[in-house]
Amino acid sequence: MDLLSKRIEDIIATIPNASDIHIQSGKPVKHRTPVGVFDDGREPVSDGEIEVFIDRIAPKGWRDRVDQGGGHIDFSAQIGMARLRCNLFKYGGIGRMAIAMRRLSDTIPRLDYLGLPQAAQALADRACGLVLVTGPTGSGKSTTLASMIGRINETRPCHIITIEDPIEYVHRDARATIAQREIGADASSFERGLIAAMREDPDVILIGEIRNKATMETALQAAETGHLVLATLHTSSAATTVERVTDFFHQEEKILARSVLASVLAGVVAQTLVPSRDGTRRWLASEVLINNSAVAGVIREGKTHQIPNLILSSRSDGMRLMNASLEELVAGGAITADAAIAASYDPAQLAKALKR
């Protein structure tokens, strides 16, 4: 075993709440916990050690793939007993390599274990439509999607196709038949993988991330033709998610895009992870939008600024704003008011609600 792999195994074994590991030349190996980023207290890593480590865990031809991928690639790797999602990237302006790794759970958590409200969980039970799980990097989107797929797998005899970059959680067939495809190894892009999936008799399609207009267009088409489509976006709220979808399209296409989205959207789950009061874990806070006739009308007319008020007036239907979720976590003693305010996309309103 190379020296870097041993250091990573030591971190995983001794720091169970370490979520991410960072490796750069000239620095110690670093890891993230719920309260910050820390080094392992050992000697800095050399360029040679990084090269040996990357050669061992990265896909064959990784140098060419990094160059073709704009200076970085994603892949998954097994180190000891741990699976990790890896992002290998150039830095420093001279082609030096660094790697960021996220630890993946050995098991797929049950959907009802995550802390999502019932209305969000019920989105996995839809027969068709578009479900968008959104939030910043590291907010648990992949875990939520994996748990939704896990629930579908346990309850429905159907065909599920996932398109991921890379494959994070490995699903085993239960009642469903599952085909997991990885960008780079199994498909050249999300767009091409999704187009191919439409010809592969799917009932459910998971798209790891929608990054461009073509993928969004095909995702809407898939939902419109009777498939359940689960996907992620990097947006912080339900309203900005709707705006982001329409922003993929040119001005003259927006009216049609809004009309299609209004008819196929099942719901939006916007989420973030907040450090616990004692710093040992992170708690899930979420905003939930469920499409109904009022929401569809607002989307169709492009009045996304009205979405927060619609959520407030539809709390009996299971909808809620992010600040309401954060308030609940503060009231329950799970997180501090300061942590909640730092995590909110509307901190002034939350501070007022918490009387800070």
What is the structure's pLDDT at 105?
84
Say yes or no: 158 and 251 in one domain: yes
Question: What is the full DSSP assignment across 180-243?
Answer: EEEBTTTBS-HHHHHHHHTTS--SEEEES---SHHHHHHHHHHHHTT-EEEEEE--SSHHHHHH
Binning pLDDT at 50, 70 and 90, where does residue 355 land? Answer: confident
Phi first, then psi, for residue 31 (nearest 5°) are -140, 155
Q: Residue 94 — pLDDT band, cuts 50, 70, 90? A: confident
Lay out the sheet containing 20-23: strands in order across: 36-39, 30-33, 20-23, 96-104, 82-91, 72-79
- From CA 304, how far away is CA 325, in angstroms rounded? 21
Q: For the chain, state the CA radius of gyration.
A: 21
Same domain for 188 and 87?
no
Residue pLDDT, tens place only, 30-48: 999 998 999 999 999 999 9
* Bridge partners (DSSP) listed for residue 285: 272
Per-residue model confidence (pLDDT) at position 326: 98
**Is the per-residue pLDDT at 106 higher than 90?**
no
The pair of three-digit structure tokens given for residue 288, joined into one six-digit string: 């939930």
CATH number at residue 67: 3.30.450.90
Same domain, 293 and 214: yes
Same domain, 325 and 206: yes
Residue 124 confidence (pLDDT)? 98
Looking at the predicted structure, is the pLDDT value of residue 2 above 90?
no
One-letter amino acid at 203 equals: D
- The reported pLDDT for the residue numbered 236 is 97
Domain around 42: 3-103
pLDDT bin (cut points 50, 70, 90) of residue 69 is confident
19-23, 54-58, 78-82, range with the lowest pLDDT = 78-82
- pLDDT of the residue at 1: 72
Residues 161 and 237 in one domain: yes
